[in-house]
Amino acid sequence: MQLEKIISISGKPGLYKLISQLKSGFIVEDVLTKKKASISNSSQVSLLDNIAMFTFDKEVPLFEVFENVAKNNDFKETISHKSTDAELRAFMLESLPDYDTERVYVSDIKKLAQWYNILNKAGYITPESFVKAEETTEETSEKTEATEKKETKKAAPKAEKAAAPKVKASTSAAKSAPKSTHRKQG
């Protein structure tokens, strides 16, 4: 599942997919209705790819929590976000058994259930969607490694040039060091 382009916009219901960037904002598309709209740069936006849920020992990316929910529900809709607090907490225990009960609020669980159901209705929740994301991550890692190697080769001559001023700076620092020690002794 590609969550990197799926966002939540503060003050607007639902989830949106980033389509393109403008000088003054973004073009987004509602994942359910497919209606496009523009939002300004001042809009408060949360990328689902950057959200994680607290457990007692770490933070689990939202993608992994969605995968757990999907497997527990056979990739179908889950509990309604309008369910009782007790039902929502039971749902959370099924989805992420070691979730931090003090730092994950019922409001967070409601968002989780609501967003999962929206993504499910929009066709983002399928067994294939989770496999593709893992493959994409591997491909991205390989591309990143290749890019880093290229950048390292390009950056090497710059590093040599930058080393010369550092030597001068340390020499001048060494000259000033005895003066300060001399003052302390005298």
Q: What's the pLDDT score for residue 166? A: 40
Q: Quick check: 34 and 50 in contact, CB under 8 A?
A: no
Q: Quick check: 83 and 92 in contact, CB under 8 A?
A: no
User: Of 21-25, 35-39, 79-83, 147-151, where does mean pLDDT reach its minimum?
Assistant: 147-151
Residue 181 has pLDDT above 70, yes or no: no
Neighbouring C-alpha atoms within 13 Å toward the C-beta of 38: 7
| Nearest CA among 8, 29, 31 for reference residue 123 | 31
Q: What is the pLDDT of residues 147-157, one digit of tens each?
A: 454 444 444 44
Higher pLDDT, 96 or 159: 96
CATH no. for 6-47: 2.30.30
Domain ranges of the chain: 6-47, 51-125
The answer to whether domain 51-125 has CATH 1.10.357.10 is: no
Residue 141 has pLDDT above 70, yes or no: no
> pTM of the entire structure?
0.69
pLDDT classification of 75: cutoffs 50, 70, 90: very high
Q: What's the pLDDT score for residue 35? A: 96
Residue 65 has pLDDT above 60, yes or no: yes
Q: What's the pLDDT score for residue 129? A: 81
Q: What's the pLDDT score for residue 19? A: 94
Q: What's the pLDDT score for residue 126? A: 87
Q: What's the pLDDT score for residue 2? A: 67
Residue 113 has pLDDT above 70, yes or no: yes
